[in-house]
Amino acid sequence: MAHTTAEFTQVVDNEKVQKTQPNQVLNQMSRDMQIRLRKHQEKFPRTQEFDVQWQASMKDNGAQAGSANTEESARDAQDDTVKTDQASKRQRKARGRIDYRGKTYLAPLTTVGNLPFRRVCKGFGVNITCSEMAIAGNIIQGQGSELALLKRHASEDIFGVQLAGNRADIVGKAAEFVSNNCDVDFIDLNMGCPIDMAFNNGGGSALLAHPRKIERIVRTMLAATDCDITVKFRTGISRDVNVAHKLVPQFASWGTALGTLHGRSRQQRYTKVADWDYIGECQNVAETMPLFGGGDVMSWEDYWGHMETQKQCDGIMIGRGALIKPWLFREIEERR
């Protein structure tokens, strides 16, 4: 096949050129935005207003009453605090427009689930992709390496950003920033990371021991954003003490769009086998919220066994299986 034309000019495949253009990468933060964050010039009115409402309701009505009343007051606060110029900038996404059920989901893999790898998996047919875990505090401080994690390729048609943190105000501000300045379909709260760095700082799977803190974080994220809020979590912290079945109904009642349960505890990390029977039990109490499962899905037989034979979940998140063979998603689709 010739590489030059009759006039001896380079043959160009315009279709391939178009696919590799820089404008195919979205959510690239400017230097000016990074400086604004570092100088604390970026405002987060929705998060701050919700925080005020939450604390006031806790003081006036007590802890239980505050939980019930905060969501309604937060909705009123959103209308009062969102300025016209911010509304014009915000990438508005209709909350609840995505039906997650039955879709394949590439896990947010720290250090390896980067944009190039996600593009490879998109080429093999994965439906949902998510950024690597981003630390909420680092985002609102304008750290360049953290802001780079927000990038999205145009081929990622259902894409979300995963945030980690242990303070409602910090996670809420990061979520508000992402909602205002990025093109995302959902923002995910990490409650599954088992590594010591996250756990010892109270983030990741450490949150599973603090359901009230989880509620405040999730409700703050819902109040501060326009897109879906999802959660990723484990069975519990200790291997023999499962808590996920207690949290799942609460996630649904708070308005979470999707829950993803890794069938292992923090203590197990990635050892032993994932407890898919327990994932099935949690699905039975998920009410209207779709519940995805994850753990040890290495083949299309594993996938369809959990989805159709045992009917243990509404969808499956795949991590290590995709690292071993990214074409697993095509095998799932073709069932061979």
Q: How far apart are CA 217 and CA 223, in angstroms?
A: 10
Q: Facing residues of 190 across strands?
A: 232
Question: Is 193 tagged catalytic?
Answer: yes
Single out the catalytic residue among 121, 130, 193, 227.
Answer: 193
- Exposed, middle or buried: residue 61 (CB in 10 Å: 0-12, 13-18, 19+)? middle
The count of other CB atoms within 10 Å of the CB of residue 32 is 8
CB-CB contact of 16 with 151 (8 Å) = no
Q: Which residue has the tokens 């309701």?
A: 57
Give the Cα separation of 318 and 265 in Å (integer). Answer: 17
For residues 72-104, one letter each, b for 16 or more C-beta atoms within 10 angstroms of the residue's C-beta and e for the rest, the string is ebbeebbeebbeeeeeeebbebeeeebebeebb
With both helix axes pointing from N to C terminus, report the angle between 45-81 and 211-224 in degrees, rounded to the nearest 10: 50
SS3 71: helix
Look up tokens 């100088």; give the residue.
Answer: 39
DSSP string across 317-332: EESHHHHH-TTHHHHH
Catalytic residues: 193
